[in-house]
A and B are shown apart, each in its own frame.
Chain A
């Protein structure tokens, strides 16, 4: 699993959803958690550096989670940054598009604390394999 000191960015235009994810992360022991209200703000924060995990909503105004993911993956500095999308858009074509762009895991809303933990664990394994490749 990701080290509990990992700098995490939680992105969602809905404050209640950011609170929900952050609460779960804190209960697991993560301490360095930052938040952004859309993809635009998230991209600005990402460029400041230091993040080891991004958990982003898809459907947001200004810059969607998918567009944000594209920016992250197309920048050599952040191309391998672990990226998890959290969204209500679970139709096959959306999932396929997210995978094509390079998402590490995909969490479908609504979700439990346990289902988020399992997705993060899976994302960690995938990223570890990518890093060692």
Chain B
């Protein structure tokens, strides 16, 4: 069985990037909880999500940041310095931008450590209680975060190349 890419060494840059990006860009202090393997039956209940491909020569997968609506509204309101009470097209891509920044920061660290993660563009998914999977074929982990804006999740899923 090949060694999984989803080691602490791989996960930690995403975790640290999430804390850093939310702190600098949205002035939100996020605290990561325990990283856990995603169970096959586990449903991620998201209202707004940012998704980005995590692809290198050796593996492919994705990173998802999953926000309940209330959390997302508080984070974007803090980012933009304006209060938003409902999710609309003007703020929806905030999830994409946060995803882009977290991915970008993690990618710098991982590529410095010998990975070859490629540039990617994020996409945004919205809709009450939607469920996404970072990786339908291989292993995934879920990292819960707590913050003064509310809870949210980061999911990382990777399939090793054959």
Residues of A within 8 A of B (CB): 13-17, 19-20, 23, 59, 61, 87-91, 109-112
Cβ of B100 under 8 Å from chain A: yes
A16 touching B79 in the complex, CB below 8 Å, given contacts A110-B20, A110-B21: yes
Residue with the greatest number of chain A CB neighbours at <10 A, chosen from B76, B91, B97, B103: B97
Min Cβ gap B143→A in Å is 19
Could you tell me the dominant secondary structure of chain A's interface residues? loop
Q: Is B43 an interface residue (CB 8 A)?
A: no
Q: Judge whether A59 and B119 touch: CB under 8 Å.
A: yes
* B29 interface contact, C-beta 8 A: no
Among B3-11, B104-112, B125-133, B148-156, the one that faces the other chain is B104-112
> What's the minimum C-beta distance from B13 to chain A, rounded to whole angstroms?
13
Q: Does B81 contact A (CB under 8 A)?
A: yes
Q: From residue B133, how far is it (CB to closest CB) to chain A in Å?
A: 24
B contacts with A, residue count (CB < 8 A): 26
Which 9 A-B pairs have CB atoms at the shortest separation, nearest pair first? A88-B104, A110-B25, A110-B24, A16-B94, A14-B97, A14-B93, A109-B101, A110-B21, A88-B101
Q: Does B96 contact A (CB under 8 A)?
A: yes
With A16-B93, A20-B80, A23-B81 already in contact, the answer to whether A90 and B104 are too (CB < 8 A) is yes
Q: A13: which B residues are within 8 A, CB to CB? A: 93
Cross-chain contact A59 with B80 (CB below 8 angstroms): no
Closest B residue, CB atoms, query A112: B24
Given contacts A20-B79, A88-B104, A112-B24, contact A59 B93 (CB under 8 A): no
